[in-house]
Amino acid sequence: SLQIALDKPVHAVSQTLYGLMTEEINFSYDGGLYAELVRNRTFQDHGFGGVAHWNIEHYGSSRASMEIDQAEGPSAALSHSLALTITQADPANRAGVRNEGYWGMALRPNTTYKGSLYAKADSTFAGSLNLALINDNTGKAAASTDTSALTREWKRYEFTLKTGDLETSSENHLLLTAGHNGRIWLDLISLMPPTFNNRENGNRSDLMEKMAAMHPTFLRLPGGNYLEGDQIDERFDWKNTIGPLVDRPTHRSPWNYQSSDGMGLLEFLEWTEDLKIETVLAVYAGYSLKGDHIQAGPALVPYVQDALDEIEFAIGDTSTQWGALRAKLGHPMPFHVNYVEIGNEDQFDHSDSYEGRYAQFYKAIKTKYPQLQLIATTPLKRMRPDVVDDHYYRRADEFFDDVKHYDQTDRNGPKIFVGEWATREGSPTTNMGAALGDAAWMTGMERNSDLIVMASYAPLFVNVNPGGMQWESDLIGYDALKSYGSPSYYAQCMFGEYLGNEVPTSSITGEGKLFFYSVTRDSRTGKIYLKMVNASSVPQVLDINFSGMNKVMPVAMLISLSGKTNAETNSISAPTQIVPVKTSTRIEGPNFSHTIPPYSVQVLELEAH
Ligand code: AHR
């Protein structure tokens, strides 16, 4: 039986408990959240770019060949381009290149796609380029337009492609052709569909909506391993990710593909603004994944300065150097940052340099920004950080066995940020068994939400196409057209939505070994959120007893996420097999019995005064 004393709150619930963590992994940004349709738009060859995802297309007698020209580009940052040589062409026999997109390009009816590209031509080429969106199956153009005549200098060309009545599909590509002989150079070929909040260079709406439904309160950015890079010069070097796209050199991500950096620091911050959440800003701290590090001391000073500049870019007012640049880039208002994380998973730095590096960053950041809470990525021996980031990637059984992990943790130590955690069962996205492991773990985090200030599941996203996944078991899957949430995603939505602001006293006896619960209350509304997780194959009958109130209102809401087995799951073709079901239910007084079905996560929302 479960006893809940509403007049005896044990502690407050952190109002930033649930948030988001993402990075460029599993085509989370390029080929995911970032709405860009063109894949490998800049041809910067760092082992992944080159001419990949582009193919020659020619008609009739025309011929064309392509190569990367490493000596020609529209900017210092984009110093390579695609050189296209066209022969035997005329307006009736065109030739050019096609881009396949990120496993296709999603096209919707009566929709305007905004494009741009950089191009120049040699003296033999006289004419324009045609841009068309072509259906892969029919070969028919869904939309088509021409640029003005190319010149011998690099120039940016803007265009729009508007579809008419068509069937929504992702089996489309972008085709660029010319009806003239000669050599042309192309770069930064971009095509954007409508985006969330109509942001230029913005995000896919379906994925933004899915994140919003989780009721997050923060976004930890920009990673993860992505922050560190495999090598120091492959870190998230934020200064290379701001300003016009043509000035962003792109970089190799540790997840083995080139990052377009179309989603740079400002776009990340705008994403938090669009979701109305705060930023947990992770700054590069002088250690990269393959083991290179910079010792604390003078060599680290430029990296500390980069972090100070980055914070100023995010929160400095417009009288500061980096705040002024942010304003110039279109965002005068500072963003909302309370936490800065120094590095990522520095326990893997076996040289033990982290203590010194953390201390150097800490001193510089606290001196300038005393209001910021600074997160260490691993416990420290010589100083007490404000917050420590703990990561857990586990099987469901391991979470079940460890739900009391933080129950006895010293409350005088640092606060805890569970910055990455997940039950890793199911692929590409997690299954019902994982949702049960996650939900059990979340009951423990809520019970300890005086200590745990924040928690974020990882990884959040996966492109489910073959080759799209570098990390199995993710929360939200998608292809070019559609997206879906895993059962774990829905468990997160339920816990995020029904949070409350205090934890009442409670105790339980006689429950099954695989039964877990958490109870929170919203002192402002009198709402009580009883979360129950039954991970066993048999129903759990629970006698519930409330005390410390006058009256329990008779109408309650039950939100239930259930599977028939642990293996049941959602997928791109069956996206809603397992989703929460809401029903209204009657409660007879402060003592009642409730049965939780097997393999279920439930939230019972009651009201008591
Ligand atoms: O979430 C995947 C990876 O797991 C993160 O990049 C890293 O921080 C952790 O090891």
What's the pLDDT tens digit per position in 51-66?
Answer: 999 999 999 999 999 9
CA distance 171 to 177: 19
Q: How confident is the model at residue 554 (pLDDT cuts 50, 70, 90)?
A: very high
What H or E segment, with its residue span, contains residue 446?
A: helix 432-447
Distance of CA 350 to the CA centre of its chain: 29
Report the separation in Å between the CA atom of 126 and the middle of ligand 1, taken as the mean of its atom positions.
Answer: 51
**Is residue 49 scored above 90 in pLDDT?**
no
Nearest protein Cα to ligand 1, atom 5: 224
pLDDT at 44: 86
Asked if residue 349 has its Cβ within 6 Å of ligand 1, the reply is: no
pLDDT at 594: 97
CA distance 500 to 506: 15
What H or E segment, with its residue span, contains residue 357?
A: helix 354-368
Report the separation in Å between the CA atom of 287 and the middle of ligand 1, taken as the mean of its atom positions.
Answer: 15
Q: How confident is the model at residue 50 (pLDDT cuts 50, 70, 90)?
A: confident
Asked if residue 438 has its Cβ within 6 Å of ligand 1, the reply is: no
Nearest to 124 by CA among 67, 84, 92: 84
**Is residue 45 scored above 90 in pLDDT?**
no
Asked if residue 254 has its Cβ within 6 Å of ligand 1, the reply is: no
Inter-residue contact 222 to 271 (CB < 8 Å): no
Instruction: Average the pLDDT over 282-294 and give the result.
Output: 97
In percent, the amount of the chain with pLDDT more than 70 equals 99
Report the separation in Å between the CA atom of 224 and the middle of ligand 1, taken as the mean of its atom positions.
Answer: 5
Give, in order, the Cα–Cα distances in Å from 539 to each of 396, 421, 514, 571, 583.
Answer: 19, 28, 11, 27, 19
CA distance 372 to 386: 9
With the most atoms of ligand 1 within 8 angstroms of its CB, the residue from 342, 471, 476 to mutate is 471
pLDDT at 189: 98
Give, in order, the Cα–Cα distances in Å from 106 to each of 41, 93, 103, 131, 177.
Answer: 17, 28, 9, 16, 21
Ligand 1 atom at minimum distance from 344 CA:
8
What's the pLDDT tens digit per position in 369-395?
Answer: 999 999 999 999 999 999 999 999 999
Q: How many CA atoms lie within 13 A of 111 on its CB side?
A: 17
Report the separation in Å between the CA atom of 295 and the middle of ligand 1, taken as the mean of its atom positions.
Answer: 23
Report the separation in Å between the CA atom of 346 and the middle of ligand 1, taken as the mean of its atom positions.
Answer: 12
pLDDT at 522: 97
With the most atoms of ligand 1 within 8 angstroms of its CB, the residue from 20, 27, 225 to mutate is 225
CA distance 67 to 85: 9
Asked if residue 222 has its Cβ within 6 Å of ligand 1, the reply is: no
For residues 588 and 62, the model is more confident at 62
| Torsion angles phi and psi, residue 104, rounded to 5 | 100, 170
pLDDT at 46: 65
Ligand 1 atom at minimum distance from 254 CA:
6
CA distance 581 to 602: 9
Distance of CA 326 to the CA centre of its chain: 22
pLDDT at 370: 98
Instruction: Average the pLDDT over 303-323 and give the result.
Output: 98
Nearest protein Cα to ligand 1, atom 7: 224
347-355 long-range Cβ contacts below 8 angstroms, 24+ apart: 347/377, 347/378, 348/289, 349/287, 349/291, 349/293, 350/291, 351/291, 351/293, 353/286, 353/287, 353/293, 353/294, 353/295, 353/296, 354/285, 354/287, 354/378, 354/380, 355/380, 355/381, 355/382, 355/383
pLDDT at 47: 66
Torsion, CA 276, CA 282, CA 283, CA 288, rounded to 10: -140
pLDDT at 124: 95
Asked if residue 475 has its Cβ within 6 Å of ligand 1, the reply is: no
Nearest to 446 by CA among 496, 508, 398, 491: 496
Ligand 1 atom at minimum distance from 393 CA:
4
Asked if residue 378 has its Cβ within 6 Å of ligand 1, the reply is: no
What's the pLDDT tens digit per position in 189-234?
Answer: 999 999 999 999 999 999 999 999 999 999 999 999 999 999 999 9
Asked if residue 420 has its Cβ within 6 Å of ligand 1, the reply is: yes
CA distance 375 to 281: 10
Inter-residue contact 476 to 459 (CB < 8 Å): no
Nearest to 444 by CA among 518, 381, 530: 518
Nearest to 440 by CA among 389, 392, 377: 392
Report the separation in Å between the CA atom of 422 and the middle of ligand 1, taken as the mean of its atom positions.
Answer: 11
Instruction: Average the pLDDT over 90-97 and give the result.
Output: 96
Contacts of 385 (CB under 8 A, 6+ apart): 358, 362, 374, 375, 376, 414
Delineate the domains of the chain, giving CATH numbers in brackets: 2-14+500-607 (2.60.40.1180), 19-36+205-497 (3.20.20.80), 54-192 (2.60.120.260)
What's the pLDDT tens digit per position in 136-190?
Answer: 999 999 999 999 999 999 999 999 999 999 999 999 999 999 999 999 999 999 9
Report the separation in Å between the CA atom of 23 and the middle of ligand 1, taken as the mean of its atom positions.
Answer: 9
Report the separation in Å between the CA atom of 505 and the middle of ligand 1, taken as the mean of its atom positions.
Answer: 36
| Torsion angles phi and psi, residue 483, rounded to 5 | -145, 160
Nearest protein Cα to ligand 1, atom 4: 224
